[in-house]
Structure 1
Amino acid sequence: MTTQTLRASRTFSDWIPASWAYPETGATRDLRLDYMRGFVIPLLFASHFEYFSALMFIGWERIGVVSTAEIFVMLSGIVVGMVYGKKVKQAGLAAAMPGLVSRSVDLYRISVIMILLIAVIRFIPWIDSTIITTYHSPYSGKTFPLYPGMEAGWATVISKALLLQIGPHQFQIVGMYVVMFILFTPLVFFMLSKHKVGLLLGVSWALYLINLGADPFYRPTNAQFEYAFPILSWQLVYVHGVVAGYYKHEIVQFMSQTDWGKRLVYACIALSLGFIWLTLNHPLDMFPDWAKLHVIPPDTFNYLYNEYFPKNKLGIGRLVNLVVLFVAIYALMTVCWKPLNRALGWFFIPLGQASLYVFFTHIFLLLLIANTPLPGYENFWINTGIHITILVGMWVMVKKEFLFRWIPH
């Protein structure tokens, strides 16, 4: 263990054995981020396989007023900032551009393929594709089609697919990430290479605040994903993630080796606990009373949630929760890496390192499960079994690299 690792581990908590700390080797890949991305996968399944099970007790905003979407976008931005930022620092922006372009093409290709595959599946008579070709709003009770009618010509379907204007709502965040990666990443690295960080973040915040105050919010791409993930709002998380990844070494040094940094870490831990307490007051009907707090009246909680924590436009409370929760978990994983990795690293890390593959394949697993009688039983234990089986199956597919040659991961 290096002196730097020992110092960092003692910074966060003097009572935790230094031998548990994450071994800082200077490698670009950070297994703590892979672990976190892997941990997001069960939460993703809880959101998309909407069968109430034991997974929901952590999956439905139970560890803070944040969802898998914000965490996925932020972690993706951080990884991009670390990986491509290293190339920009070493050889300049031009040297990093081929890799960025190649990744953009892969992401776009897999999104279009997904959309067209589902468009074809709709015509298979013995498969009910409703779960991935429509969206049912739990708030309005309305169901919205996500594809043109069956009578629409293939020219219409293909043109909309190429513009990412249709597709399963469970995959929409990938479409948003594709567009954001293509539109924002080169500009972000250009600004970073010119040391215009303040201007970059200022523009990012300006776009976010403009959309936060707009009613209705702006959808410049007119893509379907912007109803749930308006790009002018969500770019804030991605851009700041890339910047954080680009300056990861400096940020970690500040947080672990300065008095103000240490205070910020402890403040983030305290605020994270506060947000957990807050979200446990959520008056969700499906949760039993013993799983909820009743300190905040339902009307008050709903007002706070709608005012400061909306998901589509990323309310300011949701942003604060995202940042403090990430810092708290990253600090915990820094000082307790060895036991955490030994316990579940074997499961979470492979899933986290193949997160794009998981996003792609889980759509077809969702379709498969929906076409069995199992969801119709609406049984807590059957639903828990569904979630566990799917997670284990996904882990096996990743470990066996099933279709890795064809599906980006």
Structure 2
Amino acid sequence: MTRRWELDALRGLMLVLMTLTHLPTRLSSPLGQPFGFVSAAEGFVLLSAYMAGMVYARMARKKGIDAMRGAFWRRALKVYACHAATLFFLFTVIAAVGLRIDQPAVKDLMSFYLAHPATALLTGLMLIYTPPLLDILPMYILFMLVSPWVLAHALRHGWFWIVAGSVLAWGLAQLGLGLWVYQATVAVTGLSVPFQETGSFATFSWQLLWVLGLWMGAGRSAEGARPLAFARWVTVLAVLVALVGFIWRHHGEGGQAAFGGNVGLNLLFDKWLLGPLRLLDLLALVAVVIHFGPWLKARVRRVRWLETLGAASLPVFCAHLMIVLLVLAIWGANPYAHAWWTDAALLLGCFASLYGVARVSLRLDRPQRLMDGPCGPMFPAAAAVLKGAGVSPPLAAQVPVPAPGASPGKGQAQTATAGSPPH
């Protein structure tokens, strides 16, 4: 079982772009949405769903729906623990530093907590109150909790009604579905968390990305699955749309705001609602990557440090949040308040730290990977070590190991997978 290194590299790239966007440096604006009116968050969610679809659909086919459901829930619990840790870090360390320095950036970011600490802590742990920067993981957890039923239904009955329902929910979200659900919840429960404090991301819109990612990933894990391909006219149209989005983003008068100060038209590209033109730009970029990806993979030199970041994406994501919060608490949110060499030193230190976190995380996670993976043809030495320690690898891993120099038979062909779901 080998990892899909190109997917790890893409996730690593998304993490780098998110870090550059969130850190208050001179690079945050020019490198925000670098490929068009699409941010790293969309890529991160879509890639995570794609890999989850590959890994858990394969698990469901081999071990059954119950095993797949349990794996999803264990993963959601791990992500929840990471979210709770970052939440406590914000409420303790960042609150103490920000208030001591009297930092407006921090006081604005956690204003609801400062006004209602007990309510904020309780509802934060319930994934209701989600401060800025800490609102991706709660959405991710919700998607992970729902995914077992979605994937089980799709594997049994197909994807048509699931995708159709997801598109319908996205369309209703553009008309205010999220606010209506919030108001109905307040009327029933008396919830005291303001709507703007429940997270920037419109969950009913962003679920579409998750469903599309699950669908594509599950399809790739099926026996005899063929690579995704599009008609020539679709590819040409996708390239044109992606080019228009790229040029418009970098040479248009509005910069990251497609229509400048026109709030109404900018909703068509709205990030939080995943507006229709933004979704079109994203789908065009996805089609371009799918079409030209194999060609690039065969010709572009691998960037190992990006792969390392992507392979440990969950701890790296949490570490990047902690670094960004510390910088905001100490330096503030003004990207031009410091000299350029300060920005350079900050970025160098930040990415060195994130790489260190990734290396340590992968090293600590390696024994579990060896136990979960096929400690046979791919890891004969590891299998021997585990056996010597009195630990038996999984039954699926106990397959004959070819003699040195011998070529494996048809029954011993190695299977390439995505490895574990997003870390």
TM-score calculated relative to the size of structure 1: 0.75
Change (3 A) 1:404 1:129: farther
* 1:357 paired to 2:330: no
Separation (CA, whole Å) in 1 of partners of 2:103 and 2:293: 40
1:312 and 2:266 matched: no
Counterpart in 1 of 2:245? 275
Instruction: Quote the offset at 1:332 in angstroms.
Output: 3.3
Match of 2:126 in 1: 163
Q: Which amino acid aligns with 2:78?
A: D
Is contact 2:13–2:306 with CA below 8 Å preserved after alignment?
yes
- Give, in whole Å, the separation in 2 of the partners of 1:56 and 1:331: 29
Structure 1 position 44 matched with structure 2 position 25: no
1:275–1:321: 8 Å Cα contact kept in structure 2? yes
**Distance in 1 (alpha carbons) for counterparts of 2:259 and 2:92:** 48
Q: How does 1:238-387 map to 2 (within 5 A)?
A: 238-248=210-220, 253=226, 255-256=228-229, 260-284=230-254, 298=260, 302=262, 306-342=266-302, 345-372=303-330, 377-387=337-347
The answer to whether the 8 Å contact 2:128/2:198 transfers is no
Q: Deviations over 1:257-310 (max 9, x none)?
A: xxx54443343233211211121234357x9xxxx9xxx9856xx468514211
Identify the residue that residue 201 of structure 1 maps to in structure 2: 163
Q: Is the 8 A contact 1:115 1:166 kept in 2?
A: no
Quick one: which amino acid aligns to residue 367 of structure 1? L
Q: 1:276 to 1:90 in 2, by over 3 A?
A: same
The 3 A distance-change label for structure 1 pair 81 and 153 is closer
Q: 1:38: Cα distance to partner? A: 0.7
**Residue 94 (1) aligns with residue 99 (2):** no
Say if 2:50 and 2:215, in contact at 8 Å, map to a contact too. yes
Where does residue 80 of structure 2 map in the other structure? 108
Tell me the SS of whatever aligns to 1:62. coil
Once the two structures are superposed, the pairs formed by residues 87-236 of structure 1 within 5 Å of their partners are: 87-121=59-93, 122-123=95-96, 126=100, 131-132=105-106, 134-135=108-109, 145-149=111-115, 152=116, 154=118, 156-182=119-145, 184-214=146-176, 217-220=179-182, 226-236=198-208
Partner of 1:166, secondary structure, is coil
* C-alpha distance 254-218 of structure 1, shift in aligned 2 (>3 A): farther
The 2-side partners of 1:205 and 1:235 are apart by 9
Deviation at 1:33, TM superposition (A): 1.6
Give 1:31's aligned amino acid: W
- Identity, in percent, stands at 21
Moved more, 323-332 or 220-229: 220-229
After alignment, is 307-316 or 218-227 more displaced?
218-227
**What is the alpha-carbon distance in structure 1 between the residues aligned to residue 89 and residue 39 of structure 2?**
27
5+ residue gaps, structure 1, are 1-26, 136-143
Structure 1 residue 162 displacement after superposition: 2.0
TM-score in terms of structure 2 length: 0.73
Q: Distance in 2 between matches of 1:82 and 1:103?
A: 15
Change (3 A) 1:340 1:160: same
Structure 2: 5+ residue stretches without partners: 186-192, 366-421
Is this contact kept in 2: 1:132–1:169, CA < 8 A?
Answer: no
Q: CA deviation at 1:37?
A: 0.9
Superposed CA offset, 1:97-141 (max 9, x none): 111111111112221222123212224664667545633xxxxxx
Residues 28/331 of structure 1: CA separation in 2 closer, same or farther (3 Å cut):
farther
- The C-alpha deviation readout for 1:168-191, integer Å capped at 9, x for no partner, is 411211111112221x20221122
Structure 2 CA distance for partners of 1:196 and 1:214, relative to 1, 3 Å: same
> Match of 2:354?
394
Q: CA 1:127–1:252 in structure 2 vs 1: closer, same or farther (change >3 Å)?
A: farther
Aligned partners of 1:254 and 1:261 also within 8 Å: no
Report the Cα offset of residue 229 of structure 1. 0.8
Task: State the SS of the aligned residue for 1:377.
Answer: coil
CA distance in 2, matches of 1:215, 1:161: 22
Partner of 1:75: 47
CA contact (8 A) 1:272 1:321 kept: yes
Change (3 A) 1:186 1:297: closer
- Secondary structure class of the residue paired with 2:135: helix
Tell me how far 1:322 sits from its aligned partner.
Answer: 1.1
How far 1:383 sits from its partner (Å)? 2.2
CA distance, structure 1, for counterparts of residue 158 and residue 306 of structure 2 = 36
Task: Name the CA distance, whole Å, in 2 between partners of 1:186 and 1:272.
Answer: 33
Decide whether aligned partners of structure 1 residues 305 and 46 sit closer, same or farther in structure 2, where only a CA change above 3 A counts: farther
Q: 1:146 offset after TM fit, Å? A: 4.2
Shift of 1:75: 0.8
In the TM superposition, what is the alpha-carbon distance from 1:357 to its structure 2 partner? 0.9
